[in-house]
């Protein structure tokens, strides 16, 4: 297992990521959506690893054990205020990924000529996949705004890279 603990035996959190001060420790990961290469060293995208697993958000046991070496370490990362903002977005995306996969499965089932197919077709026809709820919470609105900011940053970087500017 990699050196995921400090000299006092505590689980490392921010110092594992290239975006934060390492306090003299080796860094292994990035919060970026893709692996990053900096000065010839590859930093693994924890987001990308997280999305490779199928797990219920909040129950990421296999991911925690295989990527971080244990559940307690994952809990420690989730308890970090700076990292939790990112993790909350990953969990939201994972929830959407799972729902999408389940709905695709129901779509395939709906073509079967049996009771399961009839039930699946009825559920789809009645738009059972639509979330029935009130207005978004403050945390959800903040999450949406953060996603929009990230998207804007990505677009701005792409425009700058190709030498274009956005007229406002």
The full DSSP string for 72-86 is HHHHHHHHSHHHHHH
Please provide the distance, in angstroms rounded to a whole number, between the alpha carbons at the two ends of the chain: 50
Smallest CA-to-CA distance from 149 within 141, 38, 134 is with: 141
User: 32: how many CB neighbours lie within 10 A of its CB?
Assistant: 16
Tokens of 138: 């403050």
> Is this prediction's pTM over 0.85?
no
User: What's residue 166's pLDDT?
Assistant: 65
Local confidence pLDDT in tens for the 168 residues of the chain: 568 998 889 999 999 999 998 888 999 999 999 999 999 999 999 999 999 998 888 899 999 999 999 999 999 999 999 999 999 999 999 999 998 998 999 999 999 999 998 988 898 898 888 877 778 888 888 888 888 888 888 777 777 778 777 665
Helices (H), 18-137: 46-52, 61-67, 71-79, 81-109, 115-125
User: What's residue 168's pLDDT?
Assistant: 59
What distances in angstroms separate CA 60 from CA 31, 56, 163, one per listed residue? Answer: 17, 7, 41
Give the distance from CA 69 to its chain's centroid: 19
User: What's residue 56's pLDDT?
Assistant: 85
């Amino acid at each position: 297992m990699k050196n995921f603990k400090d000299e006092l035996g505590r689980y490392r959190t921010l110092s594992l990521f290239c975006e934060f001060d390492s306090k003299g420790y080796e860094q292994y990961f990035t919060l970026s959506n893709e692996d990053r290469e900096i000065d010839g060293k590859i930093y693994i995208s924890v987001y990308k690893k997280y999305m490779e697993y199928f797990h219920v958000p909040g129950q990421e046991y296999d991911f925690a054990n295989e990527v971080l070496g244990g559940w307690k370490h994952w809990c420690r990362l989730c308890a970090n205020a700076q990292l939790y903002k990112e993790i909350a977005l990953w969990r939201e995306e994972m929830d959407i990924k799972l729902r999408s996969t389940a709905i695709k499965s129901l779509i395939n089932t709906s073509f079967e000529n049996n009771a399961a197919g009839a039930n699946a077709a009825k559920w789809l026809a009645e738009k059972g996949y639509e979330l029935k709820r009130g207005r978004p919470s403050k945390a959800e609105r903040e999450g949406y705004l953060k996603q929009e900011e990230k998207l804007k940053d990505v677009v701005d970087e792409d425009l700058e890279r190709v030498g274009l500017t956005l007229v406002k």
